[in-house]
Amino acid sequence: MWVGLILATSGIGCDRLPGRPEEADRFVRPDRLLDPDALLARHCTGCHGEPGRIGPARDLGDPLYLAWIGRQGFRRTTEEGVAGTPMPAFARSAGGPLTDRQIAALVDGLYARHGDAAAGFAAELPPASESEARRRGLEPGDPARGEIVFGERCSSCHGGLGGVGGSVTDPAYLALTSDAALRSAVVVGRPELGMPPFRGYEGEPALGDQEISDVVAWLAAQRPERPSEERRSAAAGLPRSEP
Ligand code: HEC
Ligand code: HEC
């Protein structure tokens, strides 16, 4: 037994000769990197924060977000980015830095780690996009109805000065934020910041699918015309992504 133990420990020792690089320290060509954590750290956490932590942009490890948007939707946004916002395109085919295999590894890694919790959410979540809402037979979002929803369900936190949620009708915020991200804010919330998901807050009922489309349409209608490129990156205050 002792002999086995000595052999086993000395086996480990051989791999740890002084000066010999550890596996994790070895240079890996950027396009060969397939470790999801390393990919996230290099390309995403500067804006999104580490999964499960607070960052300027959404927490990519939020299980409700992952369940709601689905692998395909997550992957498409990562590949194509979101035009007019700081979210860059990552696919080579869209001028980005990552190969298809790397994007698959990143998405699979996130779902593997946070997917168990995501699987706990009921199948019938609100539509993940305006076009899916239409396919489910909803009416187009109506800003007039949305203003009423905002007054009833949002303004307690977002109304004017002093609300815990700040102003989400601030032109600088809306100019940099897509309708898709407004929808995900309403459906998934930013629980790490105190913004509740659609499921109701302090005993209120959940927001209905039509109410979600309406309030998103109202917020989108408050958006000013798109500012110029320079003002956009200055207002974003987000680090530029590495190409
Ligand atoms: C319980 C208080 C509360 C309620 C109710 C609430 N919010 Fe929020 N909301 C917050 C907080 C807190 C934040 C984070 C603000 C920050 O850190 O700047 C936030 C953030 C947001 C954001 C920005 C998200 C982002 O990614 O930066 C949007 C958009 C938003 N809320 C819309 C709404 C809408 C629309 C409603 C009503 C359907 C609503 N909120 C209801 C508290 C609330
Ligand atoms: C330069 C900052 C920046 C970097 C780097 C970045 N993102 Fe984003 N990302 C954003 C912003 C800002 C948004 C919201 C865009 C919008 O308004 O639709 C966003 C949105 C997203 C969304 C959709 C979220 C939603 O609520 O609609 C996904 C998914 C996403 N990013 C994934 C990634 C992944 C994966 C990486 C790394 C490979 C990454 N992002 C790197 C800034 C960034």
78-87: long-range contacts, CB 8 A cutoff, minimum separation 24: 78/103, 78/106, 78/107, 79/103, 82/178, 82/180, 82/181, 84/176, 84/178, 84/226, 84/232, 85/176, 85/177, 85/178, 85/181, 86/47, 86/57, 86/176, 86/233, 86/236, 86/238, 86/241, 87/47, 87/57
pLDDT for res 8: 46
**Closest residue by CA, ligand 1 atom 37:** 154
d(CA 58, CA 193) in angstroms, rounded, equals 10
pLDDT for res 130: 92
**Closest residue by CA, ligand 2 atom 29:** 74
d(CA 160, CA 36) in angstroms, rounded, equals 41
Mutate to test the pocket of ligand 1, among 69, 147, 168, 222 (most ligand atoms within 8 A of CB): 168
d(CA 140, CA 134) in angstroms, rounded, equals 7
Ligand nearest to the CA of 43: 2
pLDDT for res 118: 75
- In order of 88, 116, 199, the CA distances from 53 in angstroms are 21, 18, 22
Ligand nearest to the CA of 193: 1
Show Cβ contacts of residue 86 under 8 Å, excluding neighbours closer than 6 positions. 47, 57, 176, 233, 236, 238, 241
d(CA 103, CA 109) in angstroms, rounded, equals 10
d(CA 214, CA 81) in angstroms, rounded, equals 25
As averages over each run of 10 residues, the pLDDT of the chain (243 residues) reads 46 59 75 93 96 91 93 97 97 97 97 82 86 96 97 88 74 93 96 90 90 97 70 52 44
**Closest residue by CA, ligand 2 atom 9:** 87
pLDDT for res 15: 55
| 78 within 8 A of 106, measured Cβ to Cβ | yes
